[in-house]
Every structure is written in C-alpha cells, then in structure tokens.
Amino acid sequence: MTNPAIPETAPPVVEGGLRKWSAYLGPAISVAILGAVLMQLRQLNWPMVWSIIPRSPLIWLVLAASYFSGPVADWVIFRKLWGIPLSGLAPLLKKLVGNELLMGYVGEVYFYDWARRHVKMDSSPFGAVKDVAILSALAGNFTTIIMLAITWPLISPLGFGADGKVLIVSIAVVLLTSAGIMLFRNGLLSLPRRDLWFVFNVHCLRIIVGTALSALAWHLILPEVGIGSWLLLSTIRLLLARLPLIPNKDLAFAGITALLVGREVQTGVMIAMISMLIVATHVVLFIGLLLLDLVQKEKNA
C-alpha cells in the first residue's frame, strides 16, 4: 500500500508560524543576505578582481550564461507551475545569492515567502517549493552517478582514502539518498507526476548546460588546452563537489588537472579568478536588486 500524497500546503505549524512572521521573514532574510554581501565586499581584493577581469566579450557572455543558468531554470520551472512573470527572476536571483553566501536552502525560504505574498494561487506554495528543492537534489545525485560511471577509469586510481573506502561510502550515501527519495516519493512529493518529471528534466538539463558552459569558459580563458579536456575536468569537478565525505576535494581536483592538462597550465589561478568573479557578481547583483526594490517602492508610493 502506498503512502497518501501530502497536500500542497505547508504543515499547520510551519504555515501558521510563517503567516505570523510573514511581515518580517522576507526583510529579515534580505538583511542577513545583505550582511553576508557586505562581509564579502570587505574581504574581496577589488584591485585583483579588476586586474583579472576577462577582456573578451565572448568570455563574459559564457560566464554570464553559466551564472544565470540556475535562476533561469528555476524561472522556467515556476513559470510552468505558477505562471510567474519575468520579474520573478529577481527573487530567484536573491534565492541564489542567499544560498551561496549564507547557507543552503535559506534562499528557498526567502522565495517561499515571496511567492506567498506575490503569486496568486489557491493553495500554499510550500508543496511546490519543497518538491523543486527535493528534485534538484535528486537530479544532482542522478547526474553524479552517471558522471561517476563515465569518469570511473580516471577517478578510481586516485583512491580518495585508504583503499578507496571513503569514495565507496560517498557513493553509497548518494545512492541511499536517491533510493530514499524514490521509495518515499508519495509521502515526500505533492506535485502531479507530469509536473514532477518536468521539474526533474529541467534540473538535469541545467546541470548539463552548466557543466558545458564551465568547460567552454575555461577553454576560452586557456585556449591551449582542448575543450574536450576541459569538459572532462568540468564534469569531474562537479562530481567531486557532489560526493560527500571526500577529503581534500581541491587537492584531488588539482591532481586530476595535472594528469589531464599538465602542471604547467595555470588552472588553479584561473579557477580562483572565476570564483572571485562569481563572489563579486553576487555582491554587485544583490546590491543592485535592493536598489531596484527601493526605486520601485518609491514609484508605487
């Protein structure tokens, strides 16, 4: 006997608590994100950021496409589920920054609060936001296992611990998590089956596109290395990021990079540069979105 699907509403305690604090929840999260942004603002070496900014417009376009691929995928999903307008990209971008600069799923809480106040629907958005987050994790696990199977000849010699036990446990955690979601899907997921497949497919496509865009950006920055090697490295980097319990992931990635492209290629500098640019983008984008909110409030006043 299958478990009955839970309704598309938040549990009474959660829904009641959020309704009570709804006037403060969104602003409180925004203030917390702003605090994290200001801390990053102080820590960034802006002269260094300016000195390493790519000069090629094509590199900028690829980096921008990579950065916005996640929020755009979320917008496509919630456009399908709720019919949100293009302006819904703004809270989705804030969701991204919140998750990146604070902690995972803080952005989901912010977006849930925004949806309750701005999206017209008969039921609470809790079920949809929850399902999209769960399916994002499931899609990540699925692509991780597929990529692991593809790159296993390269991954396995590295060991990742005594006799590869850590790697095996990490794979087991991913498999058990995915199996648990599938086993209890009727109790965890509330969207119709067709919508669930749509969300899952969009998340898988987002991961594939993001991986390909990362490889293309690296190739444009260091064109002496073939794009095939960068594509494989981008895949392995995503794989290492998603496997839990793997120690020294950066060292493992550096070792794989040396094997594929040689130690003379300055991949570490390039990846550090891109990471710094992403943080700088988080800072500038969030401050810009806050200023846009203030301007809109002035116009509506």
Provide the pLDDT for residue 142: 92
CA separation, residue 125 to residues 10, 92, 222 (Å): 8, 14, 44
Q: Are 128 and 9 in contact (CB under 8 A)?
A: no
CA distance 80 to 198: 9
Domain chopping of the chain, boundaries? 12-300
Which residues does the chain have with pLDDT short of 70?
A: 1-27, 41, 43-46, 48-49, 51-52, 104, 154-164, 245-251, 263-265, 298-301
Q: Are 127 and 191 in contact (CB under 8 A)?
A: yes
Provide the pLDDT for residue 168: 76
Classify residue 223 by its DSSP letter: T
Residue among 168, 151, 277, 161 nearest 211 (CA) = 151
User: How does 92-104 read in b/e, with b if 16+ C-beta sit within 10 Å?
Assistant: bbbbbbbbbbbee
pTM of the model: 0.81
